[in-house]
Amino acid sequence: MAKSKPKPQPVCSNRRARHDYEIVETVEAGIELRGWEVKALREARGNLVDSYVRFNGGQASLVGFEITAYSHDATEREPGETRRARRLLLHKHQIRKYAGAVARDGLTAIALSVYFEGPWAKAEVALARGKRKQDKRQALKRRDADREITRAERGGKRRRR
């Protein structure tokens, strides 16, 4: 049996997405970046908040993904260049499948995290369904209840200083 590779450490992640959306399916996609963007991402200067995937003309683009300027770069950047749409590298059948799910089923395509796998920048893209306010409250209650159960199983033992 082959060993599974450990998941790479994310450079940036969209933690709010798992709270606001119910994740239906995820896929790994490459990101087309410019030279300074790769260096800036290696410094963890990415921000995935409010980013989503747009399908247009047989291509997928990551919109709203902000990469702030590389610290040792002296060139001036245009104002919208840090938040430009970046092309996602997916197979055609994947693009058709996810674009169809977005159009047909009313799902949303969002980026969950960005990480490096070797020299390549990858994004974890998810098809998601929006949660209602009531669903979010139930998830918080369930998480609190699980915490109480684990505390009770430990016997209330906590490390004290």
User: What structural domains and CATH numbers belong to the chain?
Assistant: 10-71+79-131 (2.40.280.10)
Average pLDDT over every residue of 83-108: 94
How confident is the model at residue 34, as a pLDDT?
86
How confident is the model at residue 2, as a pLDDT?
60
How confident is the model at residue 161, as a pLDDT?
57
**Residue 82: pLDDT band with limits 50, 70, 90:** confident
How confident is the model at residue 159, as a pLDDT?
58
- In this structure, what token pair is assigned to residue 34? 């410019």
Average pLDDT over every residue of 118-146: 88
Average pLDDT over every residue of 14-29: 91
Contact indicator for 91, 60 with CB cutoff of 8 Å: no
Average pLDDT over every residue of 130-137: 81
How confident is the model at residue 1, as a pLDDT?
54
99: CB partners within 8 A, 6+ apart: 55, 60
Other Cβ atoms less than 10 A from the Cβ of 100: the count is 12
Residue 12, burial from CB neighbour count under 10 angstroms (0-12, 13-18, 19+):
buried
Q: Is the pTM of this model over 0.85?
A: no
Angstrom distance (rounded) from CA 133 to CA 21: 11
Percent of the chain with pLDDT over 90: 53
At residue 105, does pLDDT exceed 80? yes
Helical (H) or strand (E) element with 123: strand 120-130
